[in-house]
Amino acid sequence: MKNSFKTFLKHTAKDFHNQSVNPPVVRASTIIFKSMKHIRNTQSKAKKNPTGGHYDYGRQGTSTTHILQKILTKLEESYHVFTTPTGFGAVFLAIFSVTRPGDEIIIADPVYMPTRLLTENFLKEFNIKTIFYDPKNLKTLEQNITKKTKLIFVENPGSNTFDFQDLGKIISIAKKNKILTAIDNTWGTPYFLKPISIGFDMSIVSATKYYSGHSDVMGGSLAVNQKVFKYVEKAQKITGLRLGPDDAYLITRGLRTLDVRLDKHYDNAMKVAAFLSKNKKVKLLYPYKKRSQNYKMWKKYYSGASGLMGLMIKAKNKKSVIKFVNSLKLFGYGYSWGGFESLALHQGKSERGNRKYLNLNKNERLVRLHIGLEDSTDLIADLKQALKHVK
């Protein structure tokens, strides 16, 4: 009998030695061996089986981080998963592992702002050029490919705009041109989309969000196929970008309920979307309206949707949009998302950055909502009273 992934999440990583349901936190810098021979044996095992969880020093992780990596490798259906101290660390590791001075990267225009700053500003100083493409028009991707293009970096859906792209088409363009691909899959997580199995070389998830699920830990994961494994392994060793065991423990604990929480975020978000889609002042940025291109692209690749959505609000009076956000009583105002609680954020210039293809009209404003695990009836009632302020 083959158990489903939901069952695997509940039953995996038990510590039979200590008879505990959850594996212990193993904190270590120095690892003590029985003899020098034992050290050498471990090192040669690590060489022969680099994904096997052998380690001779704490910077390579301990059993606590390796257990998490094993669970994530199964969830991602990937060759291996590397874990990093933050989600952004995983973004950096993916790009740093495969690009070198003289290379070019093509990136979706609405990527997460720090990813944009990393490529557009920082990597420029290392002679790595970034070109942005319009996720709604993949011709802007194809047209910008040159002999120097090393990597196509996708974020799906795009931060702020929530555009869903034709992922299969991007992969076939990349394969035709022998270009590597990476995707930031924090929104969907491999519970709803498995990027490595549809052909991406690398897939990033900020574990800070749904994996941990409780807004009290930071971490990241980078899933890879066999082709890029060796590059990322080398880069991780050089940068020392490793997740600590206490954070790994909390993320493993969060993963136990990933499916239950995401199913509920999905259900709540769809109910909120149904309510918001009736409001004339709001253009909903969420895969809800069946005839929209975004819905079709989402449906083609995802088995569900998470709780993060955007609202494009038309208002003559800009201050009234801020008033709408400030009037929400059940939504906290703050960065990040993916925890059990609802959040709201007005997306000003500092959150959006210089988007090339985001043509907001003067009277259009962006608000981001994270739909948490509260009772959806209460969330809808709260939104209803706050939306009255939009003028």
- Strands 220-224, 80-84: pairing is antiparallel
Using the rule CB under 6 A, is 88 a contact of ligand PLP? yes
The two tokens of residue 102 are: 């003289």
Query: Minimum CB separation from ligand PLP for residue 108, in Å?
Result: 11
Query: Minimum CB separation from ligand PLP for residue 8, in Å?
Result: 25
Using the rule CB under 6 A, is 336 a contact of ligand PLP? yes
**Residue with the closest Cβ to ligand PLP?**
87
Tell me, by CB under 6 A, how many residues bind ligand PLP: 14
For ligand PLP, the closer of residues 155 and 382 by Cβ is 155
Q: Of 16-55, which residues contact ligand PLP (CB under 6 A)?
A: none
* 151 Cβ contact list (under 8 Å, min separation 6): 95, 98, 99, 103, 105, 106, 179, 180, 181, 182
For the chain, how long is the longest CA-to-CA vector?
75
For ligand PLP, the closer of residues 243 and 273 by Cβ is 243
Using the rule CB under 6 A, is 96 a contact of ligand PLP? no
* 282 Cβ contact list (under 8 Å, min separation 6): 276, 311, 312, 313, 314, 387
The whole-angstrom separation of Cα 199 and Cα 221 is: 18
3-state secondary structure of 85: coil
Q: Partners of 149 in the beta sheet?
A: 104
Among 188, 220, 244, 310, binds ligand PLP (CB under 6 A): 220
User: Would you give the binding string for ligand PLP spanning residues 262-291, x where CB under 6 A is met?
Assistant: ------------------------------
The whole-angstrom separation of Cα 331 and Cα 317 is: 22
Query: Rounded to an integer, what is the distance from CA 20 to the centroid of its chain?
Result: 31
For ligand PLP, the closer of residues 56 and 351 by Cβ is 351
For ligand PLP, the closer of residues 219 and 245 by Cβ is 219
For ligand PLP, the closer of residues 63 and 69 by Cβ is 69
* Candidate ranges 56-64, 80-88, 117-125, 294-302; the one touching ligand PLP (CB under 6 A): 80-88
Query: Minimum CB separation from ligand PLP for residue 160, in Å?
Result: 10
The whole-angstrom separation of Cα 21 and Cα 93 is: 32
Among 73, 78, 156, 208, binds ligand PLP (CB under 6 A): 208
**Residues 320 and 344: beta-carbon distance below 8 Å:** no
Using the rule CB under 6 A, is 135 a contact of ligand PLP? no
**Residues 201 and 181: beta-carbon distance below 8 Å:** yes
Backbone angles phi, psi at 308, to 5 degrees: -95, 130
For ligand PLP, the closer of residues 63 and 186 by Cβ is 186
Query: Minimum CB separation from ligand PLP for residue 94, in Å?
Result: 11
The whole-angstrom separation of Cα 206 and Cα 251 is: 11
For ligand PLP, the closer of residues 218 and 232 by Cβ is 218
For ligand PLP, the closer of residues 261 and 370 by Cβ is 370
Among 96, 112, 153, 164, binds ligand PLP (CB under 6 A): 112
The whole-angstrom separation of Cα 368 and Cα 92 is: 25
Using the rule CB under 6 A, is 203 a contact of ligand PLP? no
For ligand PLP, the closer of residues 107 and 390 by Cβ is 107
* 382 Cβ contact list (under 8 Å, min separation 6): 328, 329, 330, 331
The whole-angstrom separation of Cα 283 and Cα 247 is: 38
Alpha-carbon dihedral sign for residues 242, 243, 244, 249: negative
Among 123, 218, 251, 262, binds ligand PLP (CB under 6 A): 218
Among 65, 99, 130, 206, binds ligand PLP (CB under 6 A): 206
What value does the CA radius of gyration of the chain take, rounded to a whole number of Å? 22
Using the rule CB under 6 A, is 306 a contact of ligand PLP? no
Residues that bind ligand PLP (CB under 6 A): 86-88, 91, 112, 155, 159, 184, 186, 206, 208, 218, 220, 336
